[in-house]
Structure 1
């Protein structure tokens, strides 16, 4: 039986990934799950992040999704490997797949940088995990990676403060300047939090024109497309009606209002359902 591709994030940011998935793979169906009621995950312990992620992925599997994309850097950094290596083999259907966003992002960095100096802008939880450093050292040991963890960006975005104003400009400029001070030779900045593309117009104001600013959305979408081309046995299990549906653990009215900012599309009420994870 064919079923949609599951996409999971701890909140709204994963919708920036889904936006590009729907653009590049418009014929496929998607089921998005945002655990907004318990976001942000970065404030929780590693054990709690793993438990929450396991509940979310299990819910999408129970909905029939044969493949789930974890569109969250924090979960990809702290829980993906456990889900892939421990939970999936013990599940009722080990042929299902769980994919993350960090590996495809790092794979692309070698094509983006011209001089081997790359900056990463990520949440404190993702930076603390050192997952990007480990993956870059494994795949691109020639790249010098510098990380910066803006502490306020996610809060600003989810609080509706993303347009140009004195406060937003201050926090964006400060973190960009701190990153470039650590390594003035950076020629590529990777946005390694799925919320950060909302601030892209502000980020560009404080970055030199010769620096590439890379979003994860198209990178992950192209990686997913490539994966399906290489795995026809999975591709055949996916439904293709061009339909997207959305699940949230918060009030569905609140979700609809914020989702448009990340998805660049208005969601009808019948496209959203509130769920409880356990």
Structure 2
């Protein structure tokens, strides 16, 4: 990649995910960094990433990032836990001049800060759980922590279809969570996929009030703010940031489903269809 231009602080932040789940991170970025322009890409044509091999995830991630880099960005946010677990090294090798921030390490840090008992449970995609990235990230911060993880492969397609609550979602969530909670007895449950926060009400119903739910969106936004500040990349004060959206498939569906992830009645008015 070429050296970033001198006016790079005026460039947008690039954000990508396998679908619309990363919009929970974009929402946190917008709240934390209102002056920044944000460019989002959801790779809906190849969703989900969580069932793919590490090599495939890395290839998809580099292709998606390449589209954003081609549009001109100053920092890349990997708003996908699976890609954060499996593709950060490849992304940093492909784009060595570009700051790259994943959602996994900020999520691990938030979990470590929240636990009182030292017992943390993680729910994520198959790829994230299989790779053990959350376990390593949490134990790197708190070596004595007991970490348990469970894959929840049906959550992503349910979220993408707009099924966020109701008997079907409750039944699926109970199937995944009951063994984990009974065996691990955690006081923190990490939502290790950016799609999972939309199930917050259902998960809260199942886990009760004594277990804290942690997602990485807010802590990722804090990490981005710090990187922008340290790198001299923050947008000019007073600028009103804009958000633009791209997807690799079904832009109308993307816009419809995105409303639940963006919150506050927001719906993208235009979604560009791109080919990787």
Question: Is the aligned partner of 1:190 residue 2:197?
Answer: no
TM-score, reference length from structure 2:
0.91
Instruction: Give the match for residue 168 of structure 1.
Output: 169
Question: Is the aligned partner of 1:258 residue 2:239?
Answer: no
Instruction: Give the match for residue 87 of structure 1.
Output: 94
Deviation of residue 178 (structure 1)? 1.3
Query: In structure 1, what is the Cα distance between the partners aligned to 2:236 and 2:56?
Result: 31
Query: In structure 2, what is the Cα distance between the partners aligned to 1:192 and 1:76?
Result: 10
Give the counterpart of 1:62 among 66, 70, 73: 70
Deviation of residue 69 (structure 1)? 0.2
Query: In structure 2, what is the Cα distance between the partners aligned to 1:56 and 1:209?
Result: 38
Query: In structure 2, what is the Cα distance between the partners aligned to 1:239 and 1:267?
Result: 24
* Maintained 8 Å contact 1:66/1:237: no
Task: Write out aligned runs for 1:1-278 (5 A).
Answer: 1=7, 2-84=10-92, 86-89=93-96, 94=97, 96-165=98-167, 167-184=168-185, 186-232=186-232, 234-235=233-234, 240-264=239-263, 265-269=265-269, 271-277=270-276
Query: In structure 1, what is the Cα distance between the partners aligned to 2:83 and 2:239?
Result: 27
Q: Which runs of 5+ in 1 are unaligned?
A: none
State the secondary structure of the residue aligned to 1:137.
helix
State the secondary structure of the residue aligned to 2:204.
helix
Query: In structure 1, what is the Cα distance between the partners aligned to 2:130 and 2:75?
Result: 28
Greater mean deviation of Cα atoms: 49-58 or 155-164 = 155-164
Query: In structure 1, what is the Cα distance between the partners aligned to 2:238 and 2:12?
Result: 5
Deviation of residue 266 (structure 1)? 3.1
Instruction: Give the match for residue 4 of structure 2.
Output: none
Deviation of residue 9 (structure 1)? 0.4
* Maintained 8 Å contact 1:70/1:100: yes
Q: Flag the 1:237–1:62 CA change in 2: closer, same or farther, 3 A.
A: farther
Query: In structure 2, what is the Cα distance between the partners aligned to 1:201 and 1:213?
Result: 11
* Maintained 8 Å contact 2:78/2:101: yes
Count of residues in Structure 1 that have an aligned counterpart in Structure 2:
267
Greater mean deviation of Cα atoms: 29-38 or 240-249 = 240-249
Deviation of residue 236 (structure 1)? 5.6
Query: In structure 2, what is the Cα distance between the partners aligned to 1:161 and 1:154?
Result: 10
Q: Could you list the per-position Cα deviations for residues 21-49 of structure 1 after superposition, in whole angstroms to 9, with x for gaps in the alignment?
A: 11111111100011111111123222221
Q: Which runs of 5+ in 2 are unaligned?
A: 1-6
Deviation of residue 120 (structure 1)? 0.5
Q: Flag the 1:239–1:102 CA change in 2: closer, same or farther, 3 A.
A: farther
Deviation of residue 163 (structure 1)? 2.1
Q: Flag the 1:114–1:199 CA change in 2: closer, same or farther, 3 A.
A: same
* Maintained 8 Å contact 2:13/2:73: yes
TM-score, reference length from structure 1:
0.91
